[in-house]
Amino acid sequence: MLLIPLLLVACGPISPEEAADRCEARAQRAVGPTGEARIGVNSERGVVGGVEMTVTGDYLTGRDPQSVYENCVLQFTGQAPVRPLRLERTRPFWERF
């Protein structure tokens, strides 16, 4: 019986600041595909690697990241964002070294 109230609390409203954090991440994914590549060596399997790529529906449909951010915050809190959208500048991987 104690589990039900705990689940309901987890579904409750979130703070405007937390909503902004979550929605900034979603808006960043609307800018373009994201991903990573890994390569390494270990003593058991030798060379190992992997690739991960994420493409969102917001990106595929061409939604504006600012609009994605504002609508997302509104859904979470019922109010406008408390701070402007801060997007990270995406760079090609060769510029990161």
Q: What is the pLDDT of residues 80-93, one digit of tens each?
A: 999 999 988 766 65
Give the bridge partners for 50, in sequence order. Answer: 38
Single-letter code of the amino acid located at 16: P
Q: Quick one: pLDDT band at residue 13, thresholds 50, 70, 90?
A: confident
* Residues whose CB falls within 8 Å of the CB of residue 62, separated by 6 or more in sequence, listed in order: none
**Structure pTM?**
0.70
pLDDT, tens digit, for every residue of 31-69? 998 888 899 998 988 999 999 999 999 999 999 999 999
Return the domain boundaries, the chain: 14-86
